[in-house]
Amino acid sequence: VQAIAYIALGSNLGDSRRTVLRAMERLQELSGQPLVKSSLLETTPVDCPPGSPNFVNAAVGLVPRAGETPESLLAKLQQLEREFGRTAKKILNEARPLDLDLIAFGNETRATPELTLPHLRAHLRRFVLEPLAEIAPNLVLAGQGSSVVELLRQLTSGEVVRRLQ
């Protein structure tokens, strides 16, 4: 079985829906197989400055190409963020045209500030788990005792507003 990399997409600046759809097209180029895509969700901001716009969130699964590592994939995700107009942040969780978080890369684990795998906060965030549950309901993230749908069921916060497509 080929390892799958799961990526969470988020945008709350500019034409977020279009940005997320275009970013998915670019992510397809990084995958050896057709991308597995969730629908787009509108969500309310979490831990963001007051007055932050709503987000569009989604998740995709891709099959990394031969030789791709978690580090090389993250570098490509960060390059894509810049391509879509992301600049160095000045304020914690300020509005951004595109955020691409690597949620998991097969069963790989990492524990550095530059790369933590699975992503540190993924299992706590409805805006990550909800789209992920559409494409990988039974995925168990390393270090978690429960699958994505089970984690989702355990959450009490409710930031998803609506499904956009």
Is 37 or 118 the residue whose CB approaches ligand ADP more closely? 118
How many other CB atoms are found less than 10 A from the CB of residue 109?
Answer: 14
96 labelled catalytic? yes
Is 117 or 135 the residue whose CB approaches ligand ADP more closely? 117
Is residue 80 close enough to count as binding ligand ADP by CB under 6 A? no
Phi, psi of 53 (to 5 degrees): -65, 160
Minimum separation from the CB atom of position 113 to ligand ADP (A)? 6
101 labelled catalytic? yes
Phi, psi of 60 (to 5 degrees): -135, 155
Residues 119-158 that bind ligand ADP (CB under 6 A): 119
Minimum separation from the CB atom of position 50 to ligand ADP (A)? 17
Helix (H, G, I), strand (E, B) or coil at 58: strand
Q: Residues 161, 54: contact at Cβ < 8 Å? A: yes
Q: Which of 101, 130, 134, 159 binds Mg ion (CB under 5 A)?
A: 101
How many other CB atoms are found less than 10 A from the CB of residue 65?
Answer: 13
Minimum separation from the CB atom of position 44 to ligand ADP (A)? 15
